[in-house]
Amino acid sequence: MKAPWSAASIRVRLTGWYAIVLSLMLVVYATATFVAVRQEFQEQLDDQLHDDFESAEGSLTPTPDGRVAWSVGRHHDPDNDEERAGDVWSPNGDQIGRSGASAALPPVALASAGAQPRYESMIASGRRWRTLTGTTLVTGRSVVLRVARSEERLREQLAEVLKVLVLGLPLVIVLAGLGGYSLARRALAPIDHLAVEARRVTAERLHERVSVPNQRDEIGRLAAVINDAFARLEGSFDKLRHFTADASHELRTPLAVIRGIGEAGLVETRTPAEYKEAIGSMLEEVDRLTTLVDTLLRLSHGDAGSVHLSREPLDLGQLTRDVASSLAVLLEERRQRISIEGPEGVSVSADRLVLREAITNVIDNAVKYSPVGASIAVSIREEGGRAVVEVADQGPGIAAEHRERIFDRFFRVDTARSRDAGGSGLGLAIAKWAVEINGGSIRVDAGAAGGSVFRISLPRGNA
Amino acid sequence: MRHVRVLIVEDERKLAQVLASALKGEHYDVVVASTGEDGFFHANAEAFDLVVLDVMLPGRSGFEILQTLRQRHIDTPVLILTARDGVDDRVHGLDLGADDYLVKPFALPELLARIRALLRRGRPSEAFRLKVADLEMDLVARRAVRGGRLLELTTREFELLEYLLRHQGHLVSREMLAREVWKEPRRATPLDNVIDVQMTRLRKKVDADTADRLIHTVRGVGFVLREGEP
């Protein structure tokens, strides 16, 4: 049952809801109107009866023989006689006078006639009547007086009103539905337009944007959001394009070297030592390719979210010291010094191996780019619920425009830098990946005294 | 002396050839099967000391062969070769009764070392003294002496030399060193640099003041400790 309804377009659904709500409101309104009109008619009728009663009272006169007479002259009206009636009884039940259609009505129960006049509705001779019955005194003698009016005319009028209301309601609803439909269409037209424009933007034309007619209204905000999404998509595509170009370069270079060495080796006969040299050189390239492919596969596993992490609370200081000592020989070779400062027991929640790799790559980067004899300052601290490790090097620093891209795969500030000196170009990309997969973030800033400061911020663990 | 018999089940012809020639170079008797059925037939019918089994085979997968062999209580050590390094794959292989696994592409020295280790399994481990030429290591006293001269080695250098000595005459790749000596599960560029620097330092201490160098670098492969030329 739900499917066809949810399959209908927003326009149809909107109109449907509109019609339903409007119908409910109209039904309530019509009912209230009808009740009020009926009330009003009823009160008018009662007022008329009250007038009839008073004028009938006025027509009662005492006779010289001590009885009461009723002159009904004024009430004699052929047009109204079918609609009205009047009766007067003496307390012992003798009919003193009658007028109009009183024959159609049953006699009143004298015992029930109180001092206060009383309204009643009744059905007599197949018609509905409204009566007013009361006891009145005529020069000390009490008589029972009853006036009546037929309710038929009132009911006819009410039926007219009801007919107008009931017949008019569907008409109004249909008209409102049509109006609602066209309003909904007009309101939703910009969305259709937006959809057409958005469809135009494809992978090949990602630079295009949808037009934003009015930035303030809802459609404008939606268009802005869509444009924002396109911008990010374009950014990702650009990154991917860069990556594909860089990756194919990085992968093809070793292949070209291997091929070149192999072909050159076959052209003429060489000494065994030369062959060994050639084969060794080829194997070096194979090794490089293998590492590259491994790293790329790992990153793509990470992208696909198929990496299993075993998070545990780790002492960040201890982990960092551990990394530093594993890289100690590299520092010694370059006569560099590393200082690690910060309180004990700064705990993070992370996967040990993955996080260790991130810190290793960042410190290795600092070692690689700092000059011989430089010192590298590592500081660890807690900051607003996060654990932070900062690595400050004395390298050449990174220009502001490159700071965002430094973590991109294969990005190198100095494109001329050779593969031998620059490593795989994936170290910092791996570091970023490893930090982010552990719920942290990494960024690089210019150091106060030159160089760069890499800052890794991680969620704290409960030590 | 009876030769060690090794069965290679590998459908990739070139790789099978390379493996066969490398194993023959180590003086093993080698039988090559290029399909799953063929491999199962050999393993089931003949006695081998070791099976090198590719997982992705046409016809019958390596896992199936392994499972059937173990069900028939054929307990020949099996080393699995796989191109997939997913943890599940490894665990699956080991659960089915594989004794070791290697992920393609692997280095030959590594494969040979694994095979030696599997064949050695169950025998008492060797003495606490290792020796090659005039280099001697006492693992209990943690002393290394070259030509009567005591070598002053750091802990890491000692472990490195011990590993080289245990694999004397055989190639040792950086990957093996990373895992076995540095105990790092993954080889990374920074670690490669560390290994190279450490090796250079060790070589200075071991081969200093002598023309008979013991530690040799084999370009593109790794290192080897042996007398004479590599």
Tens digit of each residue's pLDDT (9 = 90 or more) over A369-404: 999 999 999 999 998 889 999 999 998 888 888 888
Burial A311-326 (b: 16+ CB within 10 A, else e): beebbbbebbeebbeb
Its pTM stands at 0.64
**Who among B87, B189, B221 is closest to A308 (CB)?**
B87
User: Which residue on chain A is closest to B87 by alpha carbon?
Assistant: A308
For the CA atoms of A40, A44, A47, A49, the dihedral, rounded to the nearest 10 degrees, stands at -130
Which residue, A354, A341, A257, is CA-closest to A314?
Answer: A354
- Residue keyed to tokens 């944007």: A209
Q: How far apart are CA A328 and CA A360, in angstroms?
A: 11
pLDDT tens for residues A287-313? Answer: 888 888 888 888 887 777 777 888 899
For chain B, give the mean pLDDT: 87
Q: How far apart are CA A89 and CA A351, in angstroms?
A: 108
Q: How much is the pLDDT for A419? A: 52
Q: Which residues of B touch A (CB under 8 A)?
A: 87, 105, 182, 185-191, 193-194, 197-198, 201, 218-221
Q: How much is the pLDDT for B97? A: 87
Query: Count of H helices and E strands in chain B?
Result: 8, 12
**A257 chain-B contacts, CB cut-off 8 A:** none
Element (H, E) at B92: helix B87-95
Mean pLDDT of A270-297: 88
- Residue keyed to tokens 């860069």: A242
Q: How much is the pLDDT for A322? A: 92
Given a contact cutoff of 8 angstroms between Cβ atoms, the answer to whether B99 and B77 are in contact is yes
Q: How much is the pLDDT for B150? A: 92
ipTM of this complex prediction, to 2 decimal places: 0.74
Q: Is the peptide bond before A459 cis (omega within 30 degrees of 0)?
A: no
For chain A, give the mean pLDDT: 85
Yes or no, beta carbons of B186 and A290 under 8 Å apart = no
Yes or no, beta carbons of B186 and A357 under 8 Å apart = yes
CATH class in words for B129-225: mainly alpha
Neighbour order of strands in the sheet with B50-54? B29-33, B5-9, B50-54, B78-82, B100-103
B1 pLDDT higher than 60: no
**A329 chain-B contacts, CB cut-off 8 A:** 194, 197-198, 201
> Is residue A143 helix, strand or coil?
strand
Mean pLDDT of A4-32: 83
Element (H, E) at A155: helix A152-200
Distance of CA A438 to the CA centre of its chain: 30
Q: How much is the pLDDT for A2? A: 47
pLDDT tens for residues B48-91? Answer: 999 999 988 877 888 889 999 999 888 899 999 887 766 677 77
**A282 chain-B contacts, CB cut-off 8 A:** 220
Percent pLDDT > 70 in chain A is: 92
Alpha-carbon dihedral sign for residues B28, B29, B33, B38: negative
Domain architecture of chain A: domains with CATH: 10-63+70-158 (3.30.450), 218-303 (1.10.287.130), 311-459 (3.30.565.10)
Percent pLDDT > 90 in chain A is: 27
pLDDT tens for residues A321-333? Answer: 999 999 999 999 9
What tokens does A260 get?
A: 């070149």
**A283 chain-B contacts, CB cut-off 8 A:** 219-221
B126 pLDDT higher than 70: no
**Who among A281, A286, A427 is closest to B189 (CB)?**
A427
pLDDT tens for residues A184-203? Answer: 888 888 888 888 888 888 77
**A327 chain-B contacts, CB cut-off 8 A:** 190, 194
Yes or no, beta carbons of A283 and B194 under 8 Å apart = no
**A279 chain-B contacts, CB cut-off 8 A:** 220
Given a contact cutoff of 8 angstroms between Cβ atoms, the answer to whether B40 and B66 are in contact is no
**B87 chain-A contacts, CB cut-off 8 A:** 308
Q: How far apart are CA A109 and CA A382, in angstroms?
A: 99
User: Which residue on chain A is closest to B83 by alpha carbon?
Assistant: A294
What tokens does B15 get?
A: 């790789």
Q: How far apart are CA A95 and CA A106, in angstroms?
A: 12
pLDDT, greater one: B225 or A416: B225
Q: How much is the pLDDT for A109? A: 73
Yes or no, beta carbons of A330 and B189 under 8 Å apart = no
User: Which residue on chain A is closest to B106 by alpha carbon?
Assistant: A290
pLDDT tier at A1, thresholds 50, 70, 90: very low
CATH class in words for B5-120: alpha beta
User: Which residue on chain A is closest to B174 by alpha carbon?
Assistant: A287
- Tell me the CB-side half-sphere exposure of residue A2, using CA atoms within 13 A: 0
Residues of chain B with CATH 1.10.10.10: 129-225
Mean pLDDT of A93-119: 77
Contacts of A421 (CB under 8 A, 6+ apart): none
**Who among B186, B194, B201 is closest to A327 (CB)?**
B194
pLDDT, greater one: B23 or A10: B23
